[in-house]
């Protein structure tokens, strides 16, 4: 999305703004520039003024980039809602006031990482993201995004169970290639998803104890290793046709 120089500028300005979140907009006609954060608590959230956003939209808004002081470079639930509403690329740079991470991007226009071997980034490259990307690339089925907080299953949310039927899935009792698998791992609700890829293998992206962990990669594993955690199998309605 950005040049090396622009990326360094975002990192430097994010450090300077610490402990406040800083906002950058990237537009086709004006390039990259900062705008004011008008949130009530700028140390925990960001908000762009209506005037700034309307101006950016007239300039053909390409991306919204902001910093995360003292948290990982991954989206919050509010960030995900905002990205879905605007339907443009979003980016996050994390900083502790001394150093800053590279920018993690998500949303429209971003090339997806390969299904296997991608690092874990909550909300961008996690277990649901892998399922969503698999269905799009391998089955030509577009699933909706569901904004979620880190460790949502511990915060009163039940994203898989509440949305599976809305997305057109029907429960089955023996898996076939392309079926989605729900698991319940140290949780009161299904909190992990996988795809059955045949030959007694699943493809999944197991969560880490950290919201961002590039060493925790998506992989294929024998289904029997997770048999005790599996609660449901689901098949998309289009696969019955």
Q: How far is CA 35 from CA 22, 32, 46, 47, 119, in A?
A: 8, 10, 11, 10, 31
Q: Which residues are catalytic?
A: 127, 192, 204
**Secondary structure (3-state) at 3:** coil
pTM above 0.85, yes or no: yes
Listed as ranges, residues in the chain with pLDDT below 70 are none
Query: Is 197:177 a contact under the CB 8 Å cutoff?
Result: yes
CB 65 within 8 A of CB 10: yes
pLDDT in tens, 163-184: 999 999 999 999 999 999 999 9
- Give tens-digit pLDDT for 79-95: 999 999 999 999 999 99
Q: How far is CA 120 from CA 59, 116, 128, 163, 203, in A?
A: 34, 11, 11, 22, 14
Other beta carbons less than 10 A from residue 172's beta carbon: 15
């Amino acid at each position: 999305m950005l040049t090396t120089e622009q990326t360094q500028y975002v990192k430097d300005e994010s450090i300077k703004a610490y402990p406040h979140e800083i906002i950058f907009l990237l537009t086709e006609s004006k390039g990259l520039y900062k705008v004011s954060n008008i949130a009530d608590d700028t140390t925990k959230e960001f908000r762009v003024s209506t005037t700034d956003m309307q101006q950016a939209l007239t300039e053909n808004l390409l991306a919204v980039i902001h910093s995360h002081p003292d948290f990982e470079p991954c989206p919050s639930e509010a960030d995900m809602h905002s990205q879905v509403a605007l339907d443009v690329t979003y980016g996050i740079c994390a900083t502790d006031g001394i150093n800053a991470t590279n920018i993690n991007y998500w949303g429209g226009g971003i090339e997806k990482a390969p299904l296997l071997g991608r690092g874990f980034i909550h909300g961008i490259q996690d277990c649901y993201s892998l399922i969503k990307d698999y269905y799009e690339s391998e089955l030509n089925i577009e699933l909706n995004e569901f904004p979620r907080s880190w460790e949502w299953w511990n915060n009163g949310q039940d994203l898989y169970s509440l949305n599976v039927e809305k997305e057109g899935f029907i429960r089955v009792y023996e898996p076939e290639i392309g079926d989605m698998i729900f698991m319940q791992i140290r949780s009161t609700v299904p909190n992990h998803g996988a795809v059955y890829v045949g030959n007694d293998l699943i493809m999944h992206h197991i969560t880490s104890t950290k919201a961002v962990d590039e060493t925790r990669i998506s992989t294929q594993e024998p289904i029997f290793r997770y048999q005790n955690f599996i609660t449901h199998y689901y098949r998309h309605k289009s696969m019955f046709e």
